[in-house]
Amino acid sequence: MAHRTNPTLTEEEKLWHRGYAVIGVDEVGMGPLAGPVIAVAVMIRAKTAKEMKDLVALGVRDSKMLSEKKRERIFEVLAAHPLVAWGHGSVDEKTVDEINVLQAGLQAMRQAVAHLCAERKDTEEGRLFLCVDGTRIIPDIIADQRAIIGGDAKVFSIACASVIAKVLRDRMMNDYAKQYPEYGFEKHKGYGTKMHFEMISKYGPCPIHRKSFLGSVSS
């Protein structure tokens, strides 16, 4: 089995040396039966990896590889770090049903980049480079881009975006659990677990369920 390594700043350093401001983009919530798709865009405001030694030492990696406690701890450090800027986007379940989840993910990522750029005056569009997790670049954005398969396991800024997006969405689903307690959203975060399917069969879908994902479950 190949040794799994943490993401690095190698990609960012190459682009910094070419004069780019680098933004890593990732989304979460593509697969759940309920709740929104959340995307986050992260810009590391450094010029060398040495400047970010403290963050690299945190063990930032693909959010799926971290415990909830570890994600929360990393989130708090990233949110307060002077060299980290980020923006987020959210597409709700109704829009997911209307435009499909792939388009919803791209729309959420586009929102995240726009949010970051609106907050940061140093994200001059002509010198932006987006490192996007997955197989598709983000449409309708004036910036150089590259889609990176498995980017959250390779590129540090994408991994940071992955962690922030996961924490934001999990917190949102925990809030929904208080509003719709019978479904147990605090446990499965909207994913298709046995318990979740059983609760849908028992109670029917609630307003945050994605109707296009349920098929015959609630019929």
pLDDT band at 119 (very low <50, low <70, confident <90, very high): confident
Q: Domains in the chain, ordered, with CATH?
A: 10-179 (3.30.420.10)
Beta pairing partners, 5: none
Q: How far is CA 218 from the centre of its chain?
A: 29
122: pLDDT strictly greater than 70: no
Which residue type sits at 2?
Answer: A
Beta strands, E only, 70-201: 84-91, 128-133, 144-148
User: CA 136, CA 182: separation in Å to the nearest integer?
Assistant: 37
| Mean pLDDT in residue range 131-148 | 96
Determine how β-strand 37-44 pairs with β-strand 84-91. Answer: antiparallel
Averaged pLDDT of the chain: 91
Distance CA 31, CA 51 (A): 36
Report angle CA 121, 131, 38 to the nearest 5 degrees.
80
What φ, ψ does residue 58 adopt, rounded to 5°? Answer: -65, -20
CA distance 173 to 204: 18
Give 57's pLDDT tier (boundaries 50, 70, 90).
Answer: confident
Please compute the mean of the pLDDT values over residues 42-66 and round it to a whole number.
84
The two structure tokens encoding residue 198:
């059983």
Q: How confident is the model at residue 48 (pLDDT cuts 50, 70, 90)?
A: confident
Taking 90 as the threshold, does the pLDDT of residue 121 lie above it?
Answer: no
* pLDDT for position 2: 43
User: What are 155's two structure tokens?
Assistant: 């590129």
Q: Give one DSSP letter per residue of 97-128, joined into a string.
A: HHH-HHHHHHHHHHHHHHHHHHH-TT--GGGE
Which tokens belong to 122? 């140093």
What's the confidence (pLDDT) of residue 155?
A: 96
Residue 4, pLDDT score: 55
- What would the two tokens of residue 166 be? 């996961």
Instruction: Check if the beta carbon of residue 116 is closer than 8 Å to that of residue 9.
Output: no
With tokens 């005056």, the residue in question is 121
Asked if residue 1 has pLDDT above 50, the reply is no
pLDDT of 124 over the 70 cut: no
The one-letter amino acid at 22: V
Q: Is the pLDDT of residue 3 over 50?
A: no
